[in-house]
């Protein structure tokens, strides 16, 4: 399934209704069974597909930038007696394997964006579960800060994937149940095998929801909970909203994409792509008013919005592309200047949101199932924030130029602004066994580091000279293209997240490994597997060996 665009606007939402009343917003899910796009499935009972989640992801970003006054967001259903039935099963059953995994990964990132907005933008989320929430519907609810469930003698919360579908809750459900909501393991085990779920008082006692109310009191109780959440959010300075305007992009016939500061070119025959990021021509605005006047065109935001869009298109629309060459070109000193603005104005709400957005894009790169090879040669600009792209890459080649024309630089942005899913910076993760190396790299912030210096600090992987440069790069790319894509995905996912395990790394590690594996097993997707048998008159047929 090709996705033409990952952008949308509330005026074009088919499945969500976004409204704002003072400091409280409401996101009401009203999924249209047939949205006129000719899909081979119907989105019944507020079940969702990737297009429903694209709208939700847009709303979460839009609330942060366009509605900084909002302190609480109520997520509910516009339908009676159903909150959300989760991912659409016919969609999953009919989708190719890679789409299933990418779909789960994208929805996970949207859930994490909700949690990130709560933590860093003081926008608290309340799930007003006014009907049954099953599977991905409950996973949406547990991404919120609090959950209230209607007590109408039928509405329940459930994760029925194991008993009904032969798979696992793919958007972090099991992990959030025990790690975030801290449900007892034995109770979580029972809950996860109950197709009918848990409701009422028991759901509260087991920590599956925070409160339950009779239907007659539900709407009033939701308002009270939303008000209480909003009152716990920190006060924000008065801020003018920043319109989340459409991206500027030219799309080539082969799927290549050209943005104002980013190019994505494709080599289908070589199964590789090149992501080229261009540094700004100058530092640009240096005051809060100037940065806000630039808005979505401010270089760091425009650049990373483009990178984000390019990554999503690579994931969903270019499955055969296995390796991405990452380049940064232009004036590295201008990048350091922009980093100085990002650092100096970090307390400004808009600059803060831009920093958080860049962090989320880099995290999306971290969990993208492509090999990233950063290449720095003459005219490269891997400095500060753009150096994060090289640190996120699986390897970094830096040309050894005796004339010193090739250089990189660290900046204060590498010291903690863009932490990874493991809670560490990329420098800390890189030097897990040599923590003092992080200090050495940051001691020379904003200084031009020639290749030999960068190599001595451990900031590049290889530093070939101009004689070996072309061959070294060619061999690395050809070698990568010869390996099993499945083995590479598993290897990279294991190596990228050294250090402590967090809820986030658990979710993506398990998604990459176990859900990836389960989605290929006949018990789930075979001719008589649970996904294919769902809703049919005959039950699933399982192979009973435990492996």
Q: What is the pLDDT of residues 388-434, one digit of tens each?
A: 999 999 999 999 998 889 999 999 999 999 999 999 999 999 999 99
Q: Which domain holds residue 52?
A: 10-232
Contact 41, 98 (CB under 8 A): no
Quote the pLDDT of residue 352.
96
Structure tokens of 100?
A: 């299933």
Contact 181, 159 (CB under 8 A): no
Domain stop point among 464, 488, 512: 488
Count how many residues are written for the chain. Answer: 547
Query: The tokens 């004036």 sit on which residue?
Result: 331
Q: pLDDT tens, 353-381?
A: 999 999 999 999 999 999 999 999 999 99
Pairing of strands 24-29, 72-77: parallel
In the 3-class helix/strand/coil scheme, how is 127-171 assigned residue by residue? EEECEEEECHHHHHHHCCCEEEEEECCCCCEECCHHHHHCCCCCC
Q: Is residue 523 part of a domain?
A: no
What CA–CA distance (Å, rounded) separates 341 from 315? 32
Residues 222 and 255 in one domain: no
Q: pLDDT tens, 298-326?
A: 999 999 999 999 999 999 999 999 999 99
Look up residue 195 and give its DSSP letter. Answer: T
Q: Is residue 220 part of a domain?
A: yes
Q: Is residue 121 part of a domain?
A: yes
Quote the pLDDT of residue 234.
81
Residues 329 and 467 in one domain: yes
Q: Is the pLDDT of residue 511 over 90?
A: no
Average pLDDT in the chain: 95
Q: Is the pLDDT of residue 171 over 90?
A: no
Q: Is residue 156 part of a domain?
A: yes
Mean pLDDT, range 126-138, rounded to an integer: 97
* CATH code where residue 226 lies: 3.90.226.10
- The reported pTM is 0.96
Strands (E), 426-502: 449-450
Quote the pLDDT of residue 237.
67
Quote the pLDDT of residue 359.
98
Residues 225 and 266 in one domain: no
Complete edge-to-edge strand list for the sheet that includes strand 81-84? 81-84, 131-134, 157-158
Residues 379 and 445 in one domain: yes
What CA–CA distance (Å, rounded) separates 485 from 480? 9
Helices (H) and strands (E) in the chain, counts: 22, 20
Q: Is the pLDDT of residue 212 over 80?
A: yes
Mean pLDDT, range 239-255, rounded to an integer: 93
Q: Is the pLDDT of residue 514 over 90?
A: no
Q: Is residue 444 part of a domain?
A: yes
Lowest mean per-residue pLDDT among 106-110, 127-131, 240-244: 240-244
The more confident residue out of 297 and 515 is 297
Quote the pLDDT of residue 273.
98
Question: Per DSSP, what are the bridge partners of residue 18?
Answer: 27
Q: Is the pLDDT of residue 196 over 90?
A: yes
Helix, strand or coil for residue 388? Answer: helix
Residues 274 and 362 in one domain: yes
Question: Which value, to the nearest 10 degrees, does the dihedral of the CA atoms of residues 75, 78, 83, 85 take?
Answer: -120
Residues 196 and 316 in one domain: no
What CA–CA distance (Å, rounded) separates 320 from 123? 39
| pLDDT classification of 340: cutoffs 50, 70, 90 | very high
For the chain, the distance separating the N- and C-terminal CA atoms, rounded to the nearest angstrom, is 32
Lowest mean per-residue pLDDT among 196-205, 272-281, 337-346, 537-546: 537-546
Contact 82, 43 (CB under 8 A): no
Quote the pLDDT of residue 218.
97
Residues 204 and 343 in one domain: no
Domain stop point among 232, 261, 292: 232
Quote the pLDDT of residue 391.
98
Quote the pLDDT of residue 497.
87
Q: Is residue 311 part of a domain?
A: yes
| 516 CA to centre of own chain | 17
Nearest partner of 282 among 274, 273, 290, 292, judged by Cα: 290
Structure tokens of 409?
A: 């630089």
What CA–CA distance (Å, rounded) separates 362 from 20? 30
Quote the pLDDT of residue 39.
86
Nearest partner of 416 among 431, 403, 404, 428, judged by Cα: 428
Residues 254 and 222 in one domain: no
Residues 365 and 412 in one domain: yes
Quote the pLDDT of residue 238.
63
What CA–CA distance (Å, rounded) separates 297 from 306? 11
Quote the pLDDT of residue 512.
77
Residues 168 and 284 in one domain: no
Q: Is the pLDDT of residue 37 over 90?
A: no
Lowest mean per-residue pLDDT among 24-38, 52-66, 114-128, 235-249: 235-249
Residues 98 and 138 in one domain: yes
Domain stop point among 469, 488, 507: 488
Q: Is residue 501 part of a domain?
A: no
Task: Please count the structural domains in the chain.
Answer: 2
Q: Is residue 17 part of a domain?
A: yes
Contact 351, 308 (CB under 8 A): no
Residues 159 and 32 in one domain: yes
Q: Is the pLDDT of residue 515 over 90?
A: no
């Amino acid at each position: 399934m090709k996705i033409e665009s990952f952008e949308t606007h509330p005026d074009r939402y088919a499945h969500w209704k976004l409204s704002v009343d003072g400091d409280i917003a409401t996101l009401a899910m009203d999924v249209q069974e047939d949205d006129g796009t000719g899909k081979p499935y119907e989105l019944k009972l507020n079940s969702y597909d990737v297009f429903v989640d694209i709208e939700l992801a847009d709303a979460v970003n839009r609330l942060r930038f366009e509605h900084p006054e909002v302190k609480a967001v109520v997520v509910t259903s516009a339908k009676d007696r159903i909150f959300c039935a989760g991912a659409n099963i016919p969609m999953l059953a009919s989708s190719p394997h890679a789409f299933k995994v990418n779909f789960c990964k994208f929805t996970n990132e949207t859930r994490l964006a909700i949690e990130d907005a709560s933590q860093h933008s003081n926008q608290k989320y309340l799930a007003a579960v006014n009907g049954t929430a099953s599977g991905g519907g409950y996973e949406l609810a547990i991404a919120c800060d609090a959950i209230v469930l209607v007590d109408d003698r039928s509405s329940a919360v459930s994760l029925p994937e194991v008993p009904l579908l032969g798979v696992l809750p793919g958007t972090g459900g099991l992990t959030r149940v025990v790690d975030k909501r801290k449900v007892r393991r034995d109770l979580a085990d029972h809950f996860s095998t109950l197709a009918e779920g848990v409701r009422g008082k028991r759901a509260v006692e087991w920590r599956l929801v925070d409160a339950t109310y009779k239907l007659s009191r539900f709407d009033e109780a939701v308002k009270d909970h939303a008000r209480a959440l909003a009152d716990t959010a920190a006060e924000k300075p008065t801020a003018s909203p920043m319109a989340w305007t459409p991206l500027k992009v030219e799309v080539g016939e082969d799927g290549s994409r050209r943005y104002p500061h980013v190019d994505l070119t494709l080599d289908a025959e070589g199964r590789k792509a090149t992501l080229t990021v261009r540094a700004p021509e100058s530092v640009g605005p240096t005051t809060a008013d100037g940065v806000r006047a630039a808005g979505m065109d401010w270089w760091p935001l425009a650049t990373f919005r483009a990178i984000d869009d390019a990554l999503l298109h690579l994931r969903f629309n270019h499955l055969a592309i296995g390796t991405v060459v990452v380049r940064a070109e232009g004036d590295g000193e201008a990048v350091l200047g922009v980093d100085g603005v990002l650092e100096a104005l970090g307390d400004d709400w808009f600059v803060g949101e831009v920093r958080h957005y860049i962090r989320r894009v880099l995290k999306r790169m971290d969990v993208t199932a492509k090999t990233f090879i950063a290449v720095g040669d003459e005219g490269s600009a891997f400095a500060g924030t753009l150096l994060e792209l090289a640190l996120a890459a699986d390897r970094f080649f830096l040309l050894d130029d005796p004339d010193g024309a090739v250089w990189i630089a660290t900046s204060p942005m590498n010291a903690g602004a863009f932490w990874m899913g493991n809670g560490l910076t990329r420098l800390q993760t890189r030097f897990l066994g040599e923590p003092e190396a992080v200090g050495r790299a940051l001691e020379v912030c904003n200084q031009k580091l020639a290749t030999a210096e960068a190599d001595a600090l451990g900031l590049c992987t290889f530093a070939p000279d101009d004689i070996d440069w072309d061959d070294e790069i060619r061999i690395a790319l050809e070698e990568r293209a010869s390996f099993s894509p499945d083995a590479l995905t598993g290897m990279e996912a294991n190596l990228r997240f050294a250090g402590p395990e967090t809820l986030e790394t658990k979710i993506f590690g398990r998604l990459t490994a176990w859900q990836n594996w389960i989605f290929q097993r006949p018990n789930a997707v075979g001719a008589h597997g649970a996904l294919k048998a769902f809703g049919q008159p005959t039950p699933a047929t399982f192979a009973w060996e435990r492996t």
